[in-house]
A and B are shown apart, each in its own frame.
Chain A
Amino acid sequence: MPTPGGTDQESTTQGPTDPAARSRRASPSRLPADATVDLAAERRASGIDEILDTLDRELVGLAPVKTRIRELAALLLVDRVRQGFQLSASRPSLHMSFTGSPGTGKTTVALRMAELLHRLGCIDRGHLVAVTRDDLVGQYVGHTAPKTKEVIKRAMGGVLFIDEAYYLYRAENERDYGQEAIEILLQVMESHRDSLVVIFAGYKDRMESFFSSNPGLSSRIAHHLDFSDYDLDELMAIAALMLEREHYRFSEPAERTFRDYLQRRMRQPRFANARSVRNALERARLRQANRLLAATGRTWSRDDLMRFEPEDFLASRVFADEST
């Protein structure tokens, strides 16, 4: 059984050497029909709560996504208990599509999803193979099928994450090889349901037109999760989490400045939610380092090295645009 705390990560990625994972995959011990089971105990034993809790703690917002993940986790847990009573049901289809604006956490959630499904014993390894059109579609006739199959084999036992999936289908070119990749994916999604979970991800509007031109694909995906944009408070919470991880912090005025910065940035084009926040903080680190080095003739404390000041953000182009 995985132990709670920091060693978790290791025990889940080990997979095959983890005897608990293997026994979970195997059908649980047979129970007599009049037995009762303690679902709470089963739940504790599976260790899903830790993942759901880290999901809650480390991912800001995304309430509908979290709800769906909880529902899914509950279903899979109950399914496993049902198997003990020989109440077999077909394994639920787990293929998913994640739609949302850039930087809303699609890849991060996919990673967590792989870990979660592994804990629940749905997939054997729990690794994530992230691919784009380039990895699936070949360059000449007969190149696509082996290429796609190789990627699929690599992803077996884990999650295949297809980023910007709509590029697979190019409506303007009917001889595009992307169609072939989609057909192979469709076939494998049906025939190897037990060993592979496919997640399609992309921006909402383009994914919708992708699905409408491939109706067979859409109907094989049971879970369509939509990642909504973050509001200002959520973005600030994300920034706080990022800073904590990097051992930085805002000074009081800097926090107000950063809020102001985000407000301006959100109105500008190409705002990429959490990714923009991360980029802004990366640039602030540069400016902070510069500021510390430029001030000669004084010493800096530990706290000084951790703290962002308003001028670290005020030098940004976002503020410059406003003044001109």
Chain B
Amino acid sequence: MRITQGTFSYLPDLTDDEIAMQVQYALDHGWALSVEFTDDPHPRNHYWHMWGLPMFDLHDAAGVVYEVNECRQAYPLYYIRVNAYDASPTRQTTALSFIVNRPPDEPGFRLERQEHVDRRLRYTLHPYAADRPAGDRYPPTMPER
């Protein structure tokens, strides 16, 4: 199941040129870019690992695309996203965030039901990938189960 987090996630994966154009849009607005990665696809997992520090004072998207590719090389089977932070007063939040890399095989989520008092049910999502230890969640080819 293809996860859909952040901007453009319902579109086909962006090519490097398209990533560069989106990054350039962010740079033209004066937003600081950063690259983050994770192997935990849960939608409420907000804190991904940082790939280096956020990048300030950039003029051209080539620098960000370079870091994205470096990160892809190190973590080809992880989710990687690009964040653009708008530091201007009254906004001061992430203005744009999109996934630029995802594992080839995304097993998806299982719905878990929890019995609660008075026969009430509580629901939660559990990513199948999280059954495996961190760092080993997306092997290049999924083993037979």
Contacts and interface: CB of A to CB of B under 8 A. Distances in A.
Interface of A: 15-17, 124-125, 127, 146, 150, 152-154, 156-158, 192, 195-196
A195 B57 CA distance: 16
Interface string B42-69: 0000000000100101111111101100
Contact of A157 (B52, B57, B60): B60
B28 A152 contact: no
B44 to A, nearest CB: 31
A157 B28 contact: no
Nearest to B27: A16
B55 A157 contact: no
B97 interface: no
A15 B60 CA distance: 10
Contact of A154 (B24, B28, B59): B59
A195 B62 CA distance: 7
Contacts of B62: 124, 153, 156-157, 192, 195-196
Nearest to A13: B59
Contact of B24 (A16, A127, A153, A158): A16
B52 A158 contact: no
A127 B57 CA distance: 12
B55 A153 contact: yes
Nearest to A152: B63
A150 B67 CA distance: 10
Given A153-B55, A153-B66, A156-B66, A125 B28 contact: no
Contacts of A195: 60, 62
21 contacts: A15-B59, A16-B27, A16-B28, A124-B60, A125-B59, A125-B60, A127-B59, A150-B55, A152-B63, A153-B66, A153-B67, A154-B58, A156-B60, A157-B59, A157-B60, A157-B62, A158-B59, A192-B66, A195-B60, A195-B62, A196-B62
Interface of B: 24, 27-28, 52, 55, 57-64, 66-67
Nearest to B33: A153
B107 to A, nearest CB: 35
A283 to B, nearest CB: 35
B59 A156 contact: yes
Contact of B63 (A17, A127, A146, A156): A156
Contact of A17 (B28, B59, B64, B67): B28
A62 B66 CA distance: 37
Contact of B57 (A17, A152, A154): A154
Contacts of A157: 59-63
Contacts of A158: 59-60
Name the residue in A125, A153, A157, A158 with the highest tally of chain B Cβ atoms < 10 Å from its Cβ: A153
Contacts of B58: 153-154, 156
A106 B27 CA distance: 29
Nearest to B63: A153
A196 B62 CA distance: 9
Contacts of B52: 146
B55 to A, nearest CB: 6
Nearest to B70: A149
Nearest to B67: A153
Contacts of A192: 62, 66
CB-CB nearest 9 A-B residue pairs: A157-B60, A153-B63, A195-B62, A156-B62, A156-B63, A156-B60, A125-B59, A127-B59, A154-B57
Contacts of A153: 55, 58, 62-64, 66-67
B132 to A, nearest CB: 32
B129 to A, nearest CB: 31
Nearest to A196: B62
Contacts of A150: 55
